[in-house]
Amino acid sequence: MFAPFLLKLRAAGLPVSLTEWLALVGATRAGVAEYEVENFYFLARATLVKDERHMDRFDRVFAEHFRGVLPETTITGELITRDLPEEWLRKLAEKLLSEEERQAIERAGGFEALMDLLRQRLEEQKKRHQGGNRMIGTAGTSPFGAFGDNPEGVRIGQEGSRRRSAVKVWDKREFRDLADDAALGTRAMKLALRRLRKFARQGEAEELDMAGTIGATARNAGTLDLRMQAPRRNAMKVLLLLDIGGSMDDHIRASEELFTAAKSEFRHLVHLYFHNCPYERLWKTNHRRAANMIGTEEVLRTYGPDWRVVFVGDASMSPYELLEPGGSVEHWNEEPGQAWLKRITGHFRRVGWINPVPEGHWAHTRTITLIQRLTEGRMFPMTLDGLDRMAKALR
Amino acid sequence: MRFQSTDRYIASRDLEVAVNAAVTLQRPLLVKGEPGTGKTVLAQEIAKGLGLPLIEWHIKSTTKAQQGLYEYDAVARLRDGQLGEERARDVANYIIRGKLWEAFTAPTPVVLLIDEIDKADIEFPNDLLLELDRMQFHVYETKETVAAVHRPIVLITSNNEKELPDAFLRRCFFHFIRFPEREVMERIVQAHYPDVRKELAAEALNAFFLLREVDGLKKRPATSELLDWLKLLMAEEMPPEALRTADMKVALPPLHGALLKNEQDVHLLERLAFLHRGRRS
C-alpha cells in the first residue's frame, strides 16, 4: 500500500528518496502516528516533504492515493477536473437546490446544460491555472454559486455529510499559495556565480600566516614570532545593471532571485537600474526619481575597468530606442542607446548580458541580435548553463 | 517522551506529530516559517516540555561547521611551549569543545538548537551531514572519536535566506510553521497575557490582522510583534476604543513602532491613511 504512494509522489515531482521512505516506515512502526489517519498524514508530510513549496503537491497526491483506503471518501478538485463524475454533480445539485431553483434551471436549458456549463468552466479553470491549483468553486466562478449554494463552492466528495469538519486536512490544501514551479533556485544560482570568484588578500590582518610565522620563528632562533595576514576574500567586483522596463515585468521573479544570489556571493556588488536601454543616466533604486539618478559618465569614472559589468534585461525594445537619438520612450536622449552601450563595453573590459528570454527566441527580436553584437556575443540566457557560461566568459 | 502544547506555547497538531516523530526516530527536525512565528521558542518549549537541558548554537554568517565540533587553539599551545609550560605537552589541553561536542557528551539527553542555519555559508549544512547523521565525529589532534552518549534532539531553524542542500534535507524531518489563524492567535494571546482585557485583545487582534493584509508591506508583523505591542498597550493602559479598526485607515494604530519595524512600511501606511482621509473629506 505504501510503495505505490512513494512512486506517485516521485511521479508528481517530489524529490522523495529511500532515506525518507525508511524514516516514514520506521516512524509508523514506532507508533508515532498512533494509528490515526490524520496523524499519519502529518507524519508523512513531516517526513517526505522538505520544502513548503512542495506541500500542496503532496496534499494532492495524498488525497488521490488514499482515497479508497480511507473510511470517508474524499476527492480533490484536481480529480474532478480530470474525469467529471456526472452522477455526483447530479446528486449534489438535487440535494442542494430547492424546487423553484431547479425549475429555473429547467427553463434555462435543463440539467444537461448546467452540467455542460460546469464541465466547461472546470476545463477552462484547469487551463488557466496550469498548475491545476484551484479547486472548483474556490474562485467563485462555478455556476453553483449563482444559486446561493454553499459559499465554499461545490463540495463533491462529501455526499451525505455536510459537516464542515468532514473536510480532510489534506483536502483543504492550505499550502496552495506556497507552491511554485520555479526552475532556477537561488542556491543553484549561487553555485553558478561562485565560478566568478577571484580570491585576494584584503583588509585587516587577522589570520595567522603559517608559512610566514615558521620562517620568522626560525630566523628568530626558535623564539615564536607570530605573523598575521589578511584573510582571503572574494575580490571580484561586479556592477549589476538591471532593466526595469515594462517588458521585464514577466521576469521580475527570476531577476530578483538572481539579484539575491549575487548579493550574497559578492562583497563588491553595485547595482543600478535602467529602463529598456541604458542612456546618459542610470538609477540607484528602482523608484526612478531625479534624486536617485546617477550619470552614466559618472559611473564610468567611478568604477574602474576591473569591474565586471552584468546587464540583466530582455533586450527587447523598439530598434529606435537603440539606434536613434531621441528614441527613448521617456525622455529626449541626445545620443542613441547604442552609443552608450559602446561606451560602457569600451570602458569595462568584461561585460556580459543575461537575458531571461529563452535563447531560442533571440533571433526573432532585432534589438536582441543588435545588442548581442554590441556585447561581443556575451549574451547568455538566464539559466544555470547560461550563468555558468557567463561566469567563464567574465573571469 | 511526548511533546504537546503547553499553557505558554500553543502548538498545532501537525507540529506535535513532527516533533514527536523527530524525537522518536532521533533525527533532526527542520523548522521553517515567517520570522516571529515562534521557531526559536519552540526549542525552549520542547526542552521544558520534555524536561531536558537546552543547548543553543546561534549561527552567524561567519560561523564554520568545525566550530560546532571543536577548535584547536594552536597559537596558545605554541606560546605555552615556548614558555616551557608542562600543559603544552598534551594536545588535549588546547582542544576547545564546541556545542555539538557538548550535546553529544552530556550525561542526559539534551535538546540542541541550531538557530538560523541559513545565515551561515552555503556549504555549512553539508559540512555537518555526517555528524548529524551518525552523531559522532573524529578529533584528528587527539585521535579520538566523540560519539553521542545519548542522541540529542536536534532542532534546526531556517528563515529561508538560503536554500538548503538536498542531502541535508533528506536526513531531517520538516515542519513549516504557518501563520496562526485568528482563533489560534487568541489562544496564544491568552496564554501569554491571561489578565489582558477582553475588549483590548479583540480590538488589538482586529487591528493586527487588518495591518497584515495591507499590500506591499516589507515585513508583515508576526506573533512576536503582536505580543510586544499588546504588552505596550497594557502598560500604557490604552483604552480599547483607541484601537477601533474603523480608525485604522485614517491614522496609524497607537504605538505602531512595536508592530512595524521598517520605516518604509510606516511611510506606506501613512500614505494610505492620507489618501483615505482625502477621499473622505
Minimal C-alpha gap between A112 and chain B (Å):
41
Distance CA B25, CA B28 (A): 9
Cβ atoms A272, A241 nearer than 8 A? yes
Selected residue with higher pLDDT from B91 and A80: B91
Give the best residue of A32, A35, A170, A178 to mutate against chain B (max B CB count within 10 A): A32
Q: How many residues does the structure list for chain B?
A: 281
- Report the mean per-residue pLDDT for chain B: 84
Cβ atoms A369, A362 nearer than 8 A? yes
| Long-range contacts of residues A383-392, Cβ cutoff 8 Å, at least 24 apart | A383/A183, A383/A184, A384/A184, A384/A188, A384/A189, A384/A192, A386/A354, A386/A359, A387/A189, A387/A192, A387/A193, A387/A354, A388/A192, A388/A195, A390/A310, A390/A352, A390/A354, A391/A192, A391/A193, A391/A194, A391/A195, A391/A196, A392/A195
Cβ separation B172–A50 shorter than 8 A: yes
Domain B13-177 has CATH 3.20.20.220: no
Selected residue with higher pLDDT from A292 and B145: B145
| Residue B82 at interface with chain A, using a CB cutoff of 8 Å | yes
Q: Are strands B111-115 and B153-158 parallel, antiparallel or unpaired?
A: parallel
Distance CA A11, CA A89 (A): 29
**Taking the alpha carbons of A42, A43, A48, A50 in that order, is the dihedral positive or negative?**
positive
Q: Are strands B144-147 and B136-139 parallel, antiparallel or unpaired?
A: antiparallel
Rounded to the nearest 5°, which phi and psi values hold at A66?
-95, 15
| Residue B181 at interface with chain A, using a CB cutoff of 8 Å | no
**Taking the alpha carbons of B147, B148, B151, B154 in that order, is the dihedral positive or negative?**
negative
| Domain ranges (residues) in chain B | 13-177, 182-280
Distance CA A202, CA A205 (A): 8
* Nearest in space to A371 (alpha carbons), one of A389, A386, A357: A357
| C-alpha cell recorded at residue A106 | 429547467
| Residue A258 at interface with chain B, using a CB cutoff of 8 Å | no
Cβ separation B82–A185 shorter than 8 A: no
ipTM surpasses cut 0.90: no
Q: Which residues of B touch A54 (CB under 8 A)?
A: none
The predicted pLDDT at position B1 comes to: 67
Q: Determine the average pLDDT of the residues in A220-243.
A: 81
Tens of pLDDT, residue by residue over A176-205, are: 555 443 444 566 666 667 767 766 666 677
Distance CA A28, CA A19 (A): 14
Cβ separation A32–B21 shorter than 8 A: yes
Please tell me which of the candidates A31, A49, A208 has its beta carbon nearest to residue B75.
Answer: A208
Cβ separation B17–A39 shorter than 8 A: yes
Cβ atoms B119, B96 nearer than 8 A? no
Of all residues in chain A, the one with the smallest CA distance to B120 is A264
A142 pLDDT tier (thresholds 50, 70, 90): very low
Cβ separation A187–B32 shorter than 8 A: no
What fold does the segment set A236-394 form as a domain? Rossmann fold (3.40.50)
| Domain ranges (residues) in chain A | 77-157, 203-234, 236-394
| Residue A46 at interface with chain B, using a CB cutoff of 8 Å | yes
Q: Which residues of A touch B162 (CB under 8 A)?
A: 186-187, 190, 264
Highest mean pLDDT among A86-90, A149-153, A377-381: A377-381
Tens of pLDDT, residue by residue over B227-241, are: 888 888 888 887 877
- Report the mean per-residue pLDDT for chain A: 71
Tens of pLDDT, residue by residue over A276-291, are: 888 888 888 766 666 7
Give the best residue of B4, B13, B20 to mutate against chain A (max A CB count within 10 A): B20
**pLDDT(B111) > 90:** yes
**pLDDT(A80) > 70:** no
- Specify burial of residue A273 (Cβ count, 10 A radius: 0-12, 13-18, 19+): buried
